[in-house]
Amino acid sequence: MVDLSSYKGIVFDMDGTLVDSMPAHMEAWRVTCEKYGYPFNLDYMNSLGGVPTRQTVVVLNDKFNMDHDPSEVARYKRESWEAMDLEPVIIESTMAVFNHYRPHMAIGIGTGAERPHAEHLLTAHGLLERIDSLVTASDVTHGKPHPETFLTVARQMGVEPSECVVFEDTEIGRQAAEDAGMDCIMVNNGEIQV
């Protein structure tokens, strides 16, 4: 078990870190990119994991010199994802950390997902009632890589950012954690990198 005894709070990213939902999200993005004419590159789209959906559309518009309405494209992507009706599974390595430290340490989730999606997913796995804070893309002005998500989680947990450690699966999430003044442990393909 990874030793987190020097911290007072743990912040987990959700998609790709606590639950294995990235394959379904990537398929929804593939369908969405096809519909709107964005070239789809799996590695590039994975690198944007943690960025709120609407902001991802802004990034794609800039990258490919397009001007699709971010709200419309984000809605299409969300509806595509929901139509797949896939229930992502828990990632065992991070869930073991969650369960080990939950009795005596504050735990929050900071995700680029919209609140209804996050609440549905966390409720389905019995996690929503077990956390001290949930901050989603719906709750912040600036999504990752901006540190607002993680700073808000720390504030809601009542823990100083410097006393928090973040578990993340993307470089964008790592940047957000570091900019929030938090240590970050990376999760790669479901494995904790220590």
d(CA 186, CA 166): 8
For residues 16, 18, 20, 24, the Cα torsion angle rounded to the nearest 10 degrees is: -60
Enumerate the β-bridge partners of residue 89: 20
Using CA atoms, how far residue 75 sits from 61, 68, 134, in Å, is 16, 12, 22
Residues tagged active-site: 13
Q: Are 193 and 171 in contact (CB under 8 A)?
A: no
DSSP code, position 167: E
In whole angstroms, give the CA distance from residue 149 to residue 35.
Answer: 30
Contacts of 49 (CB under 8 A, 6+ apart): 15, 16, 22, 25, 112, 169, 170, 172, 173
